[in-house]
Amino acid sequence: MTVRVAIAGSTGSIGTQTIEVIRAENEREPGSYVVTALSAGSSVDVVLAQIEELGPEVVAMADEASRQEVAAQAPGVTLVHDASDLVEVADVVVNGVVGFAGLAVTVETLRAGKRLALANKESLIAAGPVVQPLRSTPGAELVPVDSEHCALHQCLRSSAAPEREVARLLLTASGGPFRGRSADDLAEVTVESALEHPTWAMGPKITVDSSTLMNKGLEVIEAHELYGTSYDDIDVVVHPQSVVHSMVEFSDGSTIAQLSMPTMHLPIGYALGYPDRIATPFGRIDWETLGSLDFEPPDRATFRCLDLAYDAGRAGGTAPAWLSAANEVAVEAFLSGKVRWNAIADVCVDVLERHDGVNPTSVDDVIEADQVARRIAHEIVDQP
């Protein structure tokens, strides 16, 4: 059976690696996957090359000028503005859009009763109360693509009754490029050093989030939303080798972990093939050369964003949306040289102190919360 795949964010890290997985699987079994739709912002040359290779039916381009340029050079393709328009022609939608902009794809995929391969954690974090009811839509499936939640998903499959048997979820963190350094050491870090991740090749926003541990904090909120586990039963452990991707501890003291060499191809392939596994062995471990696996607690005093995420998650309502929005603004400001690295957490603290306590009941409520938090964050960042 051929699986029809739509890739939202096709020119980004997740999008291009999804294409690599599909290419590898189709080499093993021709016609296993067909890419029916793509979306991107403004990367015209990359999109045109993807159209030539993959032959999609529909392409969404957020930028008007880029959309017109692609339409002129690819006349046989239907061009649309909104990435959520890709859902209709797919069995599986890979949401690799970066940031809050991925919300529409998440909502429309689940609403349509399709499988969502979710790499865009912000949409679930910001809109958890709105997204959750959509997961009960007949046919809808949410399979996480990031390595930690994919690992939890696999570990939880081993339990016949996870609601009774699971004692604790353990998310592993590489520690990022600044593991072991103090707050004083990090007062003057550069953008270049923040982007030098020791084990993962990711986009700049996610890489900076990894350096602050905000990425792990947002994953804690996502784990709560995905699996319904209490925040008191979700822990983070630093594991610099990034081979153990996460673990589940059960009521009898057993712990089951998912291990593989660090590659996003594996969780992408897991989501594409679910409930089956793909045939290409991405992440296979050479046990003769693996070496040691180390674990340590996170430095919560230096990497304050981790506890900020726990606080926002426990507050509930639109607090996670406010945190996600504030962090996006702060990271953009850091990448552009407007604020220092250690000010990212400060901006988030200042924004959350002004949280209005709203509980969202619609996508519009989430969008409003995002806009309000962004406005406040920009005011803070722009202060002289």
One-character DSSP codes across 131-193: HHHHTTSTT-EEEE-SHHHHHHHHHHTT-S-HHHHEEEEEEEE---TTTT--TTTTTT--HHH
Averaged confidence pLDDT in the chain: 94
pLDDT for residue 223: 97
Under the banding of pLDDT at 50, 70 and 90, the label for residue 188 is confident
Taking only the tens place, the pLDDT of each residue in 228-250 is: 999 999 999 999 999 999 999 99
Report how many helices (DSSP H) and strands (DSSP E) the chain contains, helices first: 16, 11
Q: Which two tokens stand for residue 56?
A: 């999609």
Q: Domains along the chain?
A: 3-144 (3.40.50.720), 160-262+287-312 (no CATH), 316-384 (1.10.1740.10)
pLDDT greater than 90 at residue 381: yes
Instruction: Using a pLDDT cut of 70, give the percent of the chain over it.
Output: 100
Say what the pTM is.
0.92
Residue that wins the pLDDT comparison between 200 and 360: 360
Range in 9-13, 135-139, 187-191, 285-289 with the lowest mean pLDDT: 187-191
Which one, of 209, 134, 119, 220, lies nearest residue 172 by Cα?
220
pLDDT for residue 101: 83
Residue that wins the pLDDT comparison between 36 and 195: 36
pLDDT greater than 80 at residue 198: no
pLDDT for residue 346: 97
Taking only the tens place, the pLDDT of each residue in 55-93 is: 999 999 988 999 999 999 999 999 998 888 899 999 999
pLDDT for residue 164: 92
Classified as helix, coil or strand, 125 is helix
Taking only the tens place, the pLDDT of each residue in 270-321 is: 999 999 999 999 999 999 999 999 999 999 999 999 999 999 999 999 999 9
Classified as helix, coil or strand, 29 is coil
Q: Which backbone phi and psi does 269 adopt, to 5 degrees?
A: -65, -35
pLDDT greater than 80 at residue 148: yes
Q: Which backbone phi and psi does 54 adopt, to 5 degrees?
A: -100, -25
Alpha-carbon distance 176 to 200, whole Å?
9
